[in-house]
Chains A and B, each alone.
Chain A
Amino acid sequence: MTSSMQSIELDAGQSGGRPAGMRATALRRLRRDPVALGAAGLLVILILAALVGGPLAAHLTGHAPDQQFPSALARDSQPLGLMQRTYLANGATHDPHGSLFILGSDALGRDVLVRVLYGARISLLVATSATALAVLLGITLGLLAGYFGGWIDAVVNRLTETAMAFPNLLLAVGLAVVVGPGLLNVVIIIALFTWYYPARIVRSTTIATRQMTFVAAARTVGARPRRILFVHLLPQVWGPLLVYATSIIANNIIFEAGLSYLGVGVPPPTASWGQMLSDAVTSGMYQTDITLALAPGLALVLTMLAFNLLGDGLRDALDPRGR
């Protein structure tokens, strides 16, 4: 779940201390990268789908995300397939709820399309807030360790090494069982198991930057550590961190879906992609109606693809060695 991080770690530190004007160069390069632009476009669509797509689809189809429609189950209580309509009893021709289920219904007679769109909200909400929390933790520890070195560095290093040695999903699941399900709990657990990636990046960038002349100059004119840390070192960290953040968000989307898949994530009936997948797979229902597994799965793959492609584009654009 986390190993794509390492590919970036290989480049860590090399992109520290970019010359001025790099931001403009990076933006120009990004604008010329059709793949990265496409990925960014896909992300915009995804965010729109999450913000307005869900309510819009719910309004148009007349199906709320958690609403169960007994009429959306056949007599043998099989869910509806793609583009199927509800079964109306006693010859009625008009279904007051809207009879069309575009992606069919799930085992409880809920609209799969509406739930997939609402699932995007949970995915993005959990992943971005967990990433923000992890990055905040990572920046703090990474800056301190990288700048001061010595025992602080040793402690942070041992902490990251030990944290990385753990089978983190198992521990996360164990922890989630202990603290119970809930949106905030999931965010905190995910952040707790991902902070060390930004911490390592920030640490290596800080070490690379610390030795540069402008930092020495700042120190000579009497700048205190706090000023050096926040005014001189922190701005240098954003570039590599930005590339990283896209990867971390992608990983956290998988992390959340994985926790929900195992039943310890965002509690039902809230629609989340992992939960939908797990409902389809553990009941075996996906073998009779593959849409139940394909819809949330493809949503996940597309989201991951968008973040991964954008991350690649950002890394190329920020690469000081140019192209």
Chain B
Amino acid sequence: MRKVVIQRLGGALVQVLAVTLFAWLLFFVIARFTGASPAQRIAGKTATASQVAEVARLYGLDKPYWEQYLIFLNHLIHGNFGFSYVQQRPVSAILWPATRATASLVLGAAAIWLAVAAPIGAWGGLHPRSAGDVAGRAVAILGMSIPVFWLAPMMSYFFGYQPTQGRILGLPLLPRGTTLFPIVGYVNFGQNPVEWAYHLILPWITLAIGFAAIYIRFIRTLTAEQLAEDYTRTAMAKGASTRRVLVRHVGRNVAPTVTVLLGADIATALTGVFFVETVFAIPGIGYTGLSAIQNLDYPVITGVIIVAALIAVLANTIVDLLHAALDPRLRRVGGG
């Protein structure tokens, strides 16, 4: 077990280094393509040559590249992500609340998509080709085919905007000015948990639908595979109830795989977060990253890339370790 953990953590460290190197390089790539040195970029277009040189000296931009990278890494380790010239604030002060908002969005959505997909998928695996299975699969393939950047404005329109016009799903059933769900805005959990959840319901559902669809298919396939195994047949033959077989036998074998997929999908969900956060105006890292790209706020862009990649690497690492803990076969040799 210890060997697995060390191996996995080593791999994660390499990934983090690669990500930071890439994010750091991007700054220089952007600078080269836009025809200005980083120092020139910070100092501004109207700066004189001596001012640019002064900025270069101040930020260590006159040092060799490898040394600059090490300094950059050293700053990162101390939580210093640089300074946003556009917002006139340290990048870490921008990223920290944003990361919390995004975590609220993604983790809540993950809970929803698992809660929806597990029963539908298990039912489909248990009763293949039954009416419920066919319906579940149809819903799944439809859910997979709806792009989140279309779903987000549609949800906002039909459940946020239209009720304020006195209509629900196009039918004039509500009094004008009804607020069914808030269209935009975000409330911190610490401030008011009820408002926090209320503001996040539509974004959660929006983000969860596509993943629920995929997980219905995953869980259906995995359940059907396990049910075809001899051990489940033995358990059934011994007279164990379907419920017991599903939870004690199938569940135990399906859970590790689903956990691993979940790790990868938390990272994938960060893509959907962009669109969901912009449409519902949630000040998360997607929203922050996009506005930074629009404002060409490079320290924030770099910071967002690093934070997003860190979340992805962290989610994958935690999940792999959890996988090793859930699946006894992986504990022995250096598998995984």
Chain A contact residues, CB within 8 Å of chain B: 1-4, 6-7, 10, 158, 161-162, 164-171, 173-174, 177-179, 250, 254, 257-258, 261-262, 274, 277, 280-281, 286-287, 290, 293, 297, 300-301, 304-305, 308-309, 312
Q: Are A305's CB and B30's CB within 8 A?
A: no
Report the interface size for chain B: residues with CB under 8 A from the other chain: 53
Given A162-B15, A167-B312, A308-B144, A3:B157 Cβ within 8 A: no
Chain A residues within 8 Å of B246, by CB? none
Instruction: Name the distance in Å between B227's Cβ and chain A's nearest Cβ.
Output: 15
Q: Are A301's CB and B145's CB within 8 A?
A: yes
Chain B residues within 8 Å of A168, by CB? 271
Q: Are A178's CB and B214's CB within 8 A?
A: no
Interface centre among B153, B296, B301, B308 (most CB of A within 10 A): B153
Q: List 25 A-B contacts (CB under 8 A).
A: A3-B211, A7-B221, A10-B221, A10-B222, A165-B313, A166-B19, A166-B22, A167-B308, A169-B270, A169-B271, A170-B289, A171-B305, A173-B290, A173-B293, A174-B293, A177-B296, A178-B29, A178-B33, A254-B147, A257-B147, A258-B271, A262-B290, A301-B146, A304-B145, A304-B146
Given A165-B309, A170-B308, A277:B149 Cβ within 8 A: yes
Interface residue B268 (Cβ < 8 Å from any Cβ of A): yes
Q: Are B218's CB and A293's CB within 8 A?
A: no
Q: Which of A6, A174, A300, A305 contacts B261 (CB 8 A)?
A: A6
Interface residue B275 (Cβ < 8 Å from any Cβ of A): yes
Given A178-B30, A293-B154, A165:B316 Cβ within 8 A: yes
Chain B residues within 8 Å of A281, by CB? 153, 279
- Closest partner residue, chain B, to A278 (CB atom): B149
Chain A residues within 8 Å of B218, by CB? 6-7, 10
Bound-state Cα–Cα, A1 to B301, Å = 21
Given A162-B15, A166-B309, A277-B149, A297:B154 Cβ within 8 A: yes
Q: Per-position contact with A for B6-37: 1 when CB-CB < 8 Å, else 0?
A: 00000100110011001000100110011000
Chain A residues within 8 Å of B154, by CB? 293, 297
Chain A residues within 8 Å of B145, by CB? 250, 301, 304-305, 308
- Interface positions, chain B 284-329, Cβ under 8 Å from A, are 289-290, 293, 296, 301, 304-305, 308-309, 312-313, 316
Contacts A166-B312, A169-B271, A262-B290 known; list 13 others, CB within 8 Å. A10-B218, A10-B222, A165-B19, A165-B313, A166-B22, A168-B271, A177-B293, A178-B30, A178-B33, A257-B149, A286-B153, A287-B157, A301-B145
Bound-state Cα–Cα, A177 to B31, Å = 12
Bound-state Cα–Cα, A76 to B211, Å = 42
Chain B residues within 8 Å of A250, by CB? 145
Bound-state Cα–Cα, A152 to B40, Å = 41
Bound-state Cα–Cα, A301 to B151, Å = 10
Instruction: Name the distance in Å between A304's Cβ and chain B's nearest Cβ.
Output: 4
Q: Are B312's CB and A1's CB within 8 A?
A: no
- Closest partner residue, chain B, to A257 (CB atom): B147
Chain A residues within 8 Å of B157, by CB? 286-287, 290, 293
Chain B residues within 8 Å of A3, by CB? 210-211, 214, 264-265, 268
Instruction: Name the distance in Å between A61's Cβ and chain B's nearest Cβ.
Output: 25
- Closest partner residue, chain A, to B270 (CB atom): A167
Chain B residues within 8 Å of A164, by CB? 264, 267
